[in-house]
């Protein structure tokens, strides 16, 4: 692996690279790219780049379809920063329940008062809040982060509700058995003291928290540490004004929300811990290494995940191709015609694209495969 770093990448993670794996100073010498937040939409990658790994979960800064068309596999690192986000959600929960920010500001504003200890005793009543023990929280989205938040709130003595129409078996097994599961979004929020959202941003989820949902709330606290556009800002302003929402806590600053009353807005700090940055970079490097060296794909966002294990033949043929009927049979026939014997085959598709791994005993000519219908890229390991 010869990786080019578009952003500053964790030194702890880079220190794990052992020769011949390394980072390079010139992208022309690289076979892969490590990136965090750098925008790549205007980058036309040369054919030497096989993969891009985002040290983080969101990939809005990467042109997924454009790179898929070039046979560039894009990875992300889901779950690597989950604990950091979970802890900040709990922080937001407490900041919204107790007026800690207001109390701290009062102390700073009055720090010149030599009798501030006595004065504070008189002033503290204005910063009184509520405890979270026994309160009801609706966790919308039970992915890695949502499950961690739900379990932590359960441990803190809250009544926890969960909702996720795409809940995986793996995440369901990790969910505390006392979390009450709901099948409808409108039902889970009704009567909740807190609502926290943990879903990916897609066309189907954009603006999913809107007036129809806010009308089910009464003096509730809404937390959003996923993406700002999951919430309809205009409907949010109305809900804050009429009391449906008591406070809104968000990790995403935008011009509308920062000017709304009763909001606590942070500058996207969810994954901003040393530990999270190390974990994300470590996972990204491992994903790239396994792909470059073994042809396996784990946590791709534009190609299917394919794990063919260790190479079981003399050659491993890795093919990025279009998803169409009959294509695998054509590739298999071509390999057989060269005198190759396929000893293992794994093929998966994702939307318009597919990825196939053939372990072959015998000689394989990559050029003869690259000319076949639907082939985007061929590698022989």
List pLDDT tens digits, range 186-197: 999 999 999 999
Domains in the chain: boundaries: 1-81+274-303, 82-265, 309-381
Give the pLDDT score at 102: 96
Average pLDDT, stretch 321-348? 96
Rounded CA-CA distance 71/49 in Å is 9
Strand, helix or coil for residue 19: coil
Rounded CA-CA distance 238/197 in Å is 19
Q: Are 167 and 225 in contact (CB under 8 A)?
A: no
**The domain over range 82-265 is classified in CATH as 3.40.50.300:** no
CATH class of the structural domain 309-381: alpha beta
The reported pTM is 0.83
Where in 2-75 does DSSP place strands (E)?
2-5, 22-23, 32-35, 51-54, 73-75
Q: Residue 46's Cα: distance from chain center in Å?
A: 27
Give the pLDDT score at 58: 83
Average pLDDT, stretch 61-85? 96
**Exposure of 380 by Cβ count < 10 A (0-12 exposed, 13-18 middle, 19+ buried)?**
middle
For the domain 1-81+274-303, what is the CATH superfamily, name and number? NAD(P)-binding Rossmann-like Domain (3.40.50.720)
- State the residue for tokens 């009308």: 215
Average pLDDT, stretch 314-342? 96
Give the pLDDT score at 201: 87
pLDDT in tens, 210-264: 999 999 999 999 999 999 999 999 999 999 999 999 999 999 999 999 999 999 9
pLDDT band at 315 (very low <50, low <70, confident <90, very high): very high
The pLDDT of residue 57 is above 90: no
The pLDDT of residue 352 is above 90: yes
pLDDT band at 329 (very low <50, low <70, confident <90, very high): very high
pLDDT in tens, 297-314: 999 999 999 999 999 989
Two domains, one topology: 1-81+274-303 and 82-265: yes
Rounded CA-CA distance 323/330 in Å is 13
Share in percent of the chain as helix, strand, coil (round to 5): 35, 25, 45
Q: Are 249 and 263 in contact (CB under 8 A)?
A: yes
Contacts of 232 (CB under 8 A, 6+ apart): 207, 209, 210, 211
């Amino acid at each position: 692996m010869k990786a080019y770093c578009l952003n500053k990448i964790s030194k702890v993670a880079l220190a794990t690279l052992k020769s011949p794996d390394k980072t390079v100073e010139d992208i022309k010498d690289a076979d892969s790219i490590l990136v965090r937040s750098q925008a790549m939409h205007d980058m036309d990658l040369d054919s030497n780049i096989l993969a891009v790994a985002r040290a983080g979960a969101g990939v809005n800064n990467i042109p997924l379809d454009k790179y898929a068309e070039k046979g560039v596999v894009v990875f992300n690192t889901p779950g690597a920063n989950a604990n950091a986000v979970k802890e900040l959600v709990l922080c937001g929960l407490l900041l919204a329940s107790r007026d800690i920010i207001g109390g701290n500001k009062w102390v700073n504003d009055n720090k010149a008062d030599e009798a501030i200890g006595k004065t504070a005793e008189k002033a503290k009543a204005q910063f009184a809040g509520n405890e979270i023990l026994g309160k009801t929280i609706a966790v919308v989205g039970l992915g890695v982060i949502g499950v961690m938040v739900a379990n932590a709130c359960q441990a803190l003595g809250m009544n926890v509700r969960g909702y996720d129409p795409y809940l995986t078996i793996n995440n369901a097994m990790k969910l505390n058995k006392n979390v009450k599961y709901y099948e409808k979004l409108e039902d889970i929020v009704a009567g909740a003291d807190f609502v926290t959202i943990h879903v990916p941003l897609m066309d189907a989820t954009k603006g999913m928290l809107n007036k129809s949902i806010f009308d089910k709330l009464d003096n509730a606290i809404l937390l959003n540490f996923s993406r700002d556009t999951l919430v309809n800002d205009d409907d949010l302003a109305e809900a804050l004004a009429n009391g449906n929402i008591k406070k809104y806590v968000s990790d995403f600053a935008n011009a509308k929300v920062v000017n709304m009353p009763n909001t606590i807005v942070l500058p996207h700090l969810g994954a901003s811990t040393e530990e999270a940055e190390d974990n994300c970079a470590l996972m990204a490097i491992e994903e790239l290494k396994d792909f470059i060296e073994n042809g396996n794909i784990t946590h791709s966002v534009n190609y299917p995940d394919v794990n063919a294990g260790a190479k079981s033949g003399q050659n491993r043929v890795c093919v990025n191709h279009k998803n169409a009927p009959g294509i695998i049979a054509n590739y298999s026939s071509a390999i057989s015609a060269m005198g190759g014997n396929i000893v293992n085959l794994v093929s998966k598709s994702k939307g318009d694209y597919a990825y196939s791994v053939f372990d072959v005993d015998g000689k394989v000519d990559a050029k003869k495969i690259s000319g076949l219908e639907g082939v985007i890229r061929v590698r022989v390991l």
